[in-house]
Structures are given as structure tokens and as C-alpha cells.
């Protein structure tokens, strides 16, 4: 239920809650209920500087970077347990702030906790190489060290889940961090400060500032004492993070947008593909970088399959996010609502056929859009190549695998894709030629902590999750160890002259 009074939050700096130095605050209204659900300290440049200073001190002089992998793992595992214990309240906060269905939010808390579990295992498996073939007097060691202070900026669509794709891996490597969540959904990330303190993370290792991209995000991205930035959000904002980072050439890891195709071949299990097609566009109201917003259907089954997609999408429950039966909740903001409706109008004007939806829904006091399906879409249309971030599906047809691959690769994005076929040769050959970081075959949007995630092209750089994730937060160092007597350069020169 909606709380009688909004939840109250402060900044988390140096292991304690503190107000912003200006005393400024901002609030958040539920996108479904039009009621204030949270009030937050508004960080300014001086607050971000204080958070960075705390993280710098904790890295340069604190115990965390030098703690053993086992010690770090113990804290991360405890954090995972605390997230599970507080699942109900965390899920409620995310539902109220984001508009997502409460049942989905609960699942996300479990997924987030699982990422902390997995990162804990990696903290005990950070290793390099030894080279003993350099000659009898030389041993070469290559070791991994934590990169330093990491700035983390996260989006509004999966607040706790996405920070959990970054923060525990940085901590496992021995880094210290400053986190800035989206101003639309900062609640669960701010609550994470107390959770990590209870889990045993030392003061200053994790600092959390709530505020706006300008100035808080910009200051974090450009600050010379930040050694790395990890950002998830739109491609356009990702480019500004790169520009801001140039002052000290900090490392940048980006997980950005997507325009992800699901390719349906005629021989596929069409019942399974049908469910995935509707799930792919309705999950999280389509506000998902992995959203299956393009459906590429082989022409011989196209008309029938699209009809079935429309009929199933028509049955999806749109409504109050606090209702356990709701599958599609509210759109996160007025700006995002206007963007989605603008693309729907654009699709109509471009000549695509509106097969379902396209209208706002009058539910509660919020912003809701019914699942929307366009067919007769061509690859050049904006709705076929630009990220909409809403429950809008564009259906295109193809005849041959080559055509499907060409259409799939025709956008600036390369985050993920789905391939549906019973033919193993088709599955593998198409998967290998699609330029995307993840390709699902006969499934869609499954995720596991063990498997890397990230994109090609303008969908990002670097990878999260999997055993390679730890590498993002480390620097390689070469140590050359000489054994035994060494003939000096000067001595060799004198012998040559003699």
C-alpha cells in the first residue's frame, strides 16, 4: 500500500547518513498514483566532492583494498542475505518510484541478491600469471590490482538490479565507490548504504549521492580523483560520460541502449516464440534495454503469427502496479510517456499498420499505455531502428536467413537478439553473424550471473557479469624479479672498451 507519509532519505557518505550541504531536497511522485512517495537530499558539487574524498581516503589508506578475498566475500554474502531479508520493503519502494508491477519487483530483489552471491565467489579468484621461461635469472609476475575509486551511475528502470550488476563486482576487486542513482528511483540504492554497513563494509568504501545528472552526475564523471566510471543508461548520455571522463583519461565501462530483434523462422516452436514475443515487449512496460522491440517473422508464417501476437498482447493485464495480477504498470515519467506516444504517432505517419493499442489508458491517476503492435514496418522507419523504451512492438518480415541478418544488424545498436528455429545449423550460423553481445536461441531475456552481458556498436563498451566482470575493475601490473648476481651495464661497457 502507499505509505501515509513519504519515505525520507539522506545522502550516504563516509559510512553515515548526511544531509546535503545546501539543505536542498527533492521528491518523487508515484507514476501510477500521483502521490509523493519519497523525499531525498539533493546532492550538489560539494556533496559529490565529499563522497569522492571519502572513497579516495578509503582506497588509499583504508583496509578494504588490502583485505583478503575471503574477507570481502564474507561481506558480500552478508549483503545478499540482507537484501533477501528486506525484499518486501525494497520491492515496495521500487514499485512506488518506478511504476513496475510489485510481483516483478520482488523477483528483481532476488535476482539482485544472486548477483552479490556470485560476486562474492569472484573475490576469491582474482589472479594473474607467472612467467618462468624468461631465463634462469628472471621471473615475471603479472598481477591484478583494484583500479581505485569507481564512479557508478545507474538508471531508473531496474534500480537495485543494475547497481548490483556493478557495485559488488567493484567491491570484490577491492575498489571503493561513489554511486549516483537516477533521481527518479533512488530509494533502494540509498537504502543499500545501511545494508552494506551492516554487512561489514568499512566506512567510506561505498558512498551514495542522490541528485540530478547536472551537476551531480557530471561532477562524478569529470572528477580527477575518480579512476573509473561505470554507467548504464541511454547512448546519448553515455557519450557525455565519455566526454566528461577525458580530463584524467579514466577508464569507462558503458551499458547503453538496444533495439533488439527476435527472429522467428517458420520451423520454430511458434507457441513458445509467441509467449516470448509478448513478454519481450511487455516486460517492465518495455522500459528495458533488452526489450524485444523488433519482431522479425519469416513471411510464410508472418500473417498468422502476428495475429496471434496481437490476440495474446490484448489479454495482458495493465493496471495498478500494487495489484499482484498486474503485468504492465505505469510509465516512469511524463517525459518518457510523451516520448513513447510520439513514436506511436510517428509510426502511424510513416505508414506502419497499427494492429493493436496505441492509446493511453485512464487508470488511477497515472500514466499508462496499452501494449502496442505495429506491422507492415520497414527497416528505415524510426520505430524499427530507434529505441522507444516503451511497450511498442514493430513487426518486420523476411524471406531468407540472409535478409533476417541484414535487418537485425541494420541499427546502430548491438545489445541482444533472439533466434527461434528448430534447425541447429540455422541457429548457430545466424547467431554468429548477428552483431550483438547476447544472442538467445529458443528463449529470450534469460539471465545468469555467470554469463557476461554487454553490447556491440553503440550499445556500449566493456562487459558486466560473468567471471570477466572482475577484470573491468582491475589494473594489470607486471613485476620482473631478478634472481642472483647482475652484471651492470657500466661493467659490460668497460669490458667492451678493453
Q: Give percent above pLDDT 70 in the chain.
A: 98
Same-domain status, 201 and 294: no
Instruction: Tell me whether residue 175 is one of the annotated catalytic residues.
Output: no
Give the active site residue among 53, 289, 387, 458: 289
pLDDT tens digit string along 355-372?
Answer: 999 999 999 999 999 999
What is the CATH number for 375?
3.40.309.10
Mark whether 164 and 93 lie in a shared domain.
yes
Number of structural domains in the chain: 2
Is there a single domain that holds both residue 280 and residue 205? no
Q: Which of 97, 183, 255, 464 is catalytic?
A: 255
332 lies in the same domain as 247: no
pTM of the model: 0.95
In-domain check, residue 462 = no
Q: Based on the residue annotation, tell me whether 177 is a catalytic residue of this protein.
A: no
The span from the CA of 275 to the CA of 375, in Å, is: 18
Integer Cα distance of 416 and 20 in angstroms: 39
Residue 86 lies in a domain: yes
Evaluate whether residue 321 is within a structural domain.
Answer: yes
pLDDT in tens, 92-144: 999 999 999 999 999 999 999 999 999 999 999 999 999 999 999 999 999 99
Same domain for 167 and 273, yes or no, is no
Do the beta carbons of residue 378 and residue 363 sit within 8 Å?
A: no
CA–centroid distance for 381 within its chain? 27
Whether residue 194 is found in the same domain as residue 299:
no
Residue 273 belongs to domain spanning? 261-441
Q: Give yes or no: residues 246 and 301 share one domain.
A: no
Residue 101, domain CATH: 3.40.605.10
Write down the mean pLDDT value for the chain. Answer: 96
Model pLDDT, residue 184: 98
State whether 103 and 194 are in the same domain.
yes
In this structure, are 204 and 274 located in the same domain? Answer: no
| C-beta separation of 219 from 73 below 8 A | no
321 and 175 housed in the same domain: no
pLDDT band at 494 (very low <50, low <70, confident <90, very high): low
Question: Which pLDDT value is given to residue 165?
Answer: 98
Q: Are residues 405 and 277 in the same domain?
A: yes
11-38 pLDDT, tens digit per residue, is: 999 999 999 999 999 999 999 998 999 9
DSSP 65: G
Task: Examine residue 169 and state whether it is found in any structural domain, yes or no.
Answer: yes
**pLDDT band for position 497 (cuts 50, 70, 90):** low
Give residue 255's pLDDT band: very low, low, confident or very high (50, 70, 90). Answer: very high
- 411 backbone dihedrals φ, ψ, rounded to 5°: -110, 175
- Residues 248 and 372 reside in one and the same domain: no
Domain membership flag for residue 124? yes
Amino acid at each position: 500500500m502507499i505509505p501515509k507519509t513519504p519515505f525520507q532519505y539522506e545522502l550516504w557518505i563516509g559510512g553515515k547518513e548526511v544531509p546535503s550541504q545546501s539543505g536542498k531536497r527533492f521528491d518523487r511522485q508515484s507514476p501510477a498514483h500521483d502521490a509523493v512517495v519519497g523525499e531525498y537530499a539533493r546532492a550538489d558539487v560539494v556533496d559529490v566532492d565529499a563522497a569522492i574524498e571519502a572513497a579516495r581516503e578509503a582506497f588509499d589508506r583504508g583496509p578494504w583494498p588490502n583485505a583478503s578475498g575471503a574477507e570481502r566475500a564474507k561481506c558480500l554474502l552478508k549483503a545478499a542475505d540482507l537484501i533477501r531479508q528486506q525484499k518486501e520493503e525494497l520491492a515496495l519502494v521500487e514499485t512506488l518510484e518506478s511504476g513496475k508491477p510489485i510481483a516483478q519487483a520482488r523477483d528483481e530483489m532476488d535476482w539482485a541478491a544472486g548477483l552479490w552471491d556470485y560476486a562474492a565467489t569472484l573475490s576469491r579468484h582474482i589472479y594473474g600469471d607467472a612467467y618462468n621461461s624468461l631465463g634462469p635469472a628472471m621471473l615475471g609476475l603479472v598481477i591484478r590490482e583494484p583500479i581505485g575509486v569507481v564512479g557508478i551511475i545507474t538508471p531508473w528502470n531496474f534500480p537495485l538490479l543494475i547497481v548490483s550488476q556493478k557495485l559488488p563486482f567493484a567491491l570484490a576487486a577491492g575498489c571503493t565507490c561513489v554511486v549516483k542513482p537516477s533521481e527518479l528511483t533512488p530509494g533502494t540504492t540509498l537504502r543499500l548504504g545501511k545494508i552494506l554497513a551492516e554487512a561489514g563494509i568499512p566506512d567510506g568504501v561505498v558512498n551514495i549521492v542522490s541528485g540530478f545528472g547536472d551537476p551531480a552526475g557530471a561532477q562524478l564523471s569529470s572528477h580527477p580523483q575518480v579512476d573509473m566510471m561505470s554507467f548504464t543508461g541511454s547512448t546519448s548520455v553515455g557519450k557525455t560520460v565519455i566526454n566528461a571522463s577525458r580530463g584524467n583519461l579514466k577508464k569507462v565501462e558503458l551499458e547503453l541502449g538496444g533495439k533488439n530483434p527476435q527472429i522467428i523462422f517458420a520451423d520454430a516452436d511458434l507457441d513458445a516464440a509467441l509467449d516470448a514475443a509478448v513478454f519481450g515487449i511487455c516486460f517492465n512496460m518495455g522500459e528495458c534495454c533488452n526489450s524485444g522491440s523488433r519482431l522479425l517473422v519469416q513471411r510464410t508464417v508472418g500473417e498468422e503469427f502476428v495475429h496471434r501476437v496481437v490476440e495474446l498482447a490484448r489479454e495482458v493485464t495493465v493496471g495498478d502496479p500494487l495489484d499482484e495480477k498486474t503485468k504492465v504498470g505505469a510509465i516512469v515519467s511524463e517525459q518518457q510517456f510523451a516520448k513513447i506516444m510520439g513514436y506511436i504517432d510517428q509510426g502511424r505517419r510513416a505508414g506502419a499498420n497499427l494492429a493493436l493499442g496505441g492509446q493511453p489508458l485512464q487508470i488511477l491517476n497515472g500514466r499508462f499505455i496499452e501494449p502496442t503492435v505495429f506491422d507492415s514496418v520497414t527497416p528505415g522507419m524510426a520505430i524499427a531502428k530507434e529505441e522507444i523504451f516503451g511497450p511498442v512492438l514493430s513487426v518486420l518480415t523476411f524471406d531468407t536467413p540472409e535478409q533476417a541478418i541484414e535487418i537485425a544488424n541494420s541499427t546502430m545498436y548491438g545489445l541482444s537478439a533472439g533466434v527461434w528455429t528448430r534447425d541447429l545449423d540455422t541457429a548457430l550460423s545466424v547467431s554468429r553473424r548477428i552483431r550483438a553481445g547476447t544472442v538467445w536461441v529458443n528463449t529470450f531475456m534469460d539471465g545468469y550471473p555467470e554469463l557476461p552481458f554487454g553490447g556491440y556498436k553503440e550499445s556500449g563498451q566493456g562487459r558486466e557479469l560473468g567471471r570477466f566482470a572482475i577484470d573491468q575493475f582491475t589494473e594489470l601490473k607486471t613485476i620482473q624479479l631478478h634472481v642472483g648476481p647482475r652484471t651492470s651495464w657500466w661493467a659490460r661497457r668497460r669490458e667492451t672498451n678493453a
